[in-house]
Structure 1
Amino acid sequence: MTSTQPLALFLMGPTASGKTDLAIRLRQHYPVEIISVDSALIYKGMDIGTAKPDAEEQALAPHRLIDILDPSESYSAADFRRDALQQMEEIVAAGKIPLLVGGTMLYYKALLEGLSPLPAADPEIRQKIEKEAQQKGWEVLHQELAGIDPVSAERIHPNDPQRLSRALEVFRISGKTLTELTEQKGEPLPYEVKQFAIMPKERSELHRRIELRFEKMIAAGFEQEVINLRNRGDLHLDLPSIRCVGYRQMWEYLDGNGTLEDAVFRGVCATRQLAKRQITWLRSWNDLTWLDSEDIDSAFTIVSCQIEAYCR
């Protein structure tokens, strides 16, 4: 082996870019174990709208860190880092290589760079912020954040109560802004990391794949899946799970906002916007090898060479 540190592979890329197909193929040829890096796949009962690996795909290549949480619960980058490190240790202890696959770039960043020293949540302060929001509206609280921490206010949308509340909570607890604290990094990842990003060369092909995936989701019963979630009675649009791309648009349609066709159109547009954000992250990423998802054989060979070089 050429490194004193164990190898970890990152397979990143925008939604619908072909990450899962390549990961499954690698799993069938090499001693790799897949860890999902996806903030939507963690939720139980959210299978169709997240394009979660089905039973057949799971049988071929089991994915860790999927179906670990109820949709009523929240999951942070800190939670992911803790869980992913534990899974990686288990995989390495078994003599295998962790293959982290997904498109939640914030999770990869937390894993690579460590976490900033943010204060733990304070239920009392959080409740006070919620009460203020009910009285004044989130727009007013967003203006307050802009006066305290303009960088975070620029990044956080006024209609994103979870992140807006957290930014205000951090300042009220610590007296320091989210921007100040996130500039301080934690422990780096103790692995030799090889990073890959896969996507089609043409953006139009990615858009075609996104539309096709949404059509398949509708045909597979996505509307009924969201109806089932609504029927629980304890879920709502402010939860991170229901804000997932596709679920929000379907939920709003079931609330009586527009037609199913409108919901599909908005869902496709939101998915394209998500893909654009993911690509923007990746364009600024360091030490990244790009793979063409329309030449899966070449992509497989490139990653294989890294695995084989490490295992010699």
Structure 2
Amino acid sequence: MKKQKYLVLIVGPTAVGKTDLCLALAKKLDAEIFSCDSRQFYKEISIGTAKPTAEELAQVPHHFINNLHIDQNYTVADFEKGVLNSLEIYFQNKDIAIMTGGSGLFAKAITHGFDNIPEVPSSFREALKQRLETEGLDDLVTELETLDPEYCTEADLSNAQRVIRALEVSQFTGKPFSSWQIQQKQIRPFEIIKVALERPREELYQRINHRVDLMLAAGLIDEVKSVSQYRDQNALQTVGYKEAFSFLDGDIDQNTMVELIKRNSRRYAKRQMTWFRNQDTFKWFSPTDFGNIFTYISNEIK
């Protein structure tokens, strides 16, 4: 009889404490870590994405971190296919894998699957880019909130490319972008154990603010300068990078930049929590509750 394989999915908002917990779990479960963080794929950006440190990456083998260059076009469908192929090989020798990250859409691609989104004529994107120039991002976000409120609970709505992508698909197909996630879950050849992490809001917000201070001290501005030639790439249309580019362009001063990064990171964390609560059934824990998390996972592994 074929031995059952398990994917332990650990999700939660930015700065909640996923990295430390997953390292401890991986060592205890003899597992390797697969990232579903949509910005940690890219080799060129580490500080602003809160990527695990070199020391942390060396403790346990990691997959889907530093696997792409920032100018590569990489979709959720690409991710789904890549992870499933990798897990098929991985499970030939291992029984348990850990997947972690804060990108709900990428996590759901593995737990549920994605329909093939039709090719959208370029005219839709060009028209939306034109509107972005003339009307601004807020008007596009307002339309997206009407067409696809579900997607808006998770998406980084300050990311113009993500907003345009969701809008073009919704407009062309007549269906919300989020509805292209398969409603009937795909059957996977492994069991999925779903854990979500949370902290009291004020504690989480303090951790986010502190993390932003650490990022800036670690050289976030220099990192942003080093990728300025790629500033139109999707991965850089996100919190931390957008505000830093505005500062470097002279549009805002340094104090304003810091406050905006902290505020927008807190807002993103709030949307992440909404997504994880509404999109799937997770068992919720504090990241400091290692004993109960390990017991829960052990009990789920038949």
TM-score tier by shorter-chain length is 0.7 to 0.9
Q: Does the CA contact (< 8 Å) of 2:147 and 2:170 recur in 1?
A: no
Structure 1 residues 218, 158: CA separation in 2 closer, same or farther (over 3 Å shift)?
closer
**Bigger CA radius of gyration:** 1
Give 1:66's aligned residue: 65
1:151 corresponds to 2:154: no
Structure 1 residues 151, 47: CA separation in 2 closer, same or farther (over 3 Å shift)?
same
Any idea what the Cα deviations from partners look like across 1:190-223, whole Å, max 9, x if unmatched?
A: 12111001122x1111111111211111111111
Q: Does the CA contact (< 8 Å) of 1:42 and 1:65 recur in 2?
A: yes
Deviation at 1:8, TM superposition (A): 1.2
Q: How many residues align?
A: 298
Question: Hey, what's the Cα distance between the residues in 1 that align with 2:195 and 2:179?
Answer: 29
Question: Hey, what's the Cα distance between the residues in 2 that align with 1:164 and 1:275?
Answer: 18
Question: Hey, what's the Cα distance between the residues in 2 that align with 1:49 and 1:106?
Answer: 20
Give matches, 1:133-282, under 5 Å.
133=131, 137=135, 142=140, 150-152=146-148, 161-167=160-166, 169-170=168-169, 174=173, 176-178=174-176, 182=180, 185=183, 188-190=186-188, 191-200=190-199, 202-230=200-228, 233=229, 235-236=230-231, 238-282=232-276
Deviation at 1:130, TM superposition (A): 5.8
> What residue ranges of structure 1 are gaps of 5+ in the alignment?
none
Q: Does the CA contact (< 8 Å) of 1:14 and 1:103 recur in 2?
A: yes
Task: Give the TM-score, by structure 2 length.
Answer: 0.85
Any idea what the Cα deviations from partners look like across 1:147-191, whole Å, max 9, x if unmatched?
A: xx94238966997542444345436755x3335953754661412
Deviation at 1:80, TM superposition (A): 1.4
User: What residue identity is the alignment partner of 2:284?
Assistant: W
Question: Hey, what's the Cα distance between the residues in 2 that align with 1:256 and 1:276?
Answer: 29
Structure 1 residues 83, 223: CA separation in 2 closer, same or farther (over 3 Å shift)?
same
Task: Give the TM-score, by structure 1 length.
Answer: 0.82
Larger deviation, residues 128-137 vs 68-77: 128-137
Question: Hey, what's the Cα distance between the residues in 2 that align with 1:254 and 1:32?
Answer: 42
SS in 2 for 1:93: coil
> What residue ranges of structure 2 are gaps of 5+ in the alignment?
none
Give matches, 1:287-298, under 5 Å.
287-298=281-292
User: What residue identity is the alignment partner of 1:71?
Assistant: I
Give 2:113's aligned residue: 114
User: What residue identity is the alignment partner of 2:204?
Assistant: L
Larger deviation, residues 154-163 vs 286-295: 154-163
Question: Hey, what's the Cα distance between the residues in 2 that align with 1:5 and 1:108?
Answer: 21
SS in 2 for 1:25: helix
Deviation at 1:95, TM superposition (A): 2.5
SS in 2 for 1:241: helix
Percent of residue pairs identical: 31
- Taking only aligned residues, the RMSD between alpha carbons, in angstroms, comes to 3.1
Any idea what the Cα deviations from partners look like across 1:38-80, whole Å, max 9, x if unmatched?
A: 0110111111111111111111012110112222333221121
Question: Hey, what's the Cα distance between the residues in 2 that align with 1:77 and 1:272?
Answer: 24
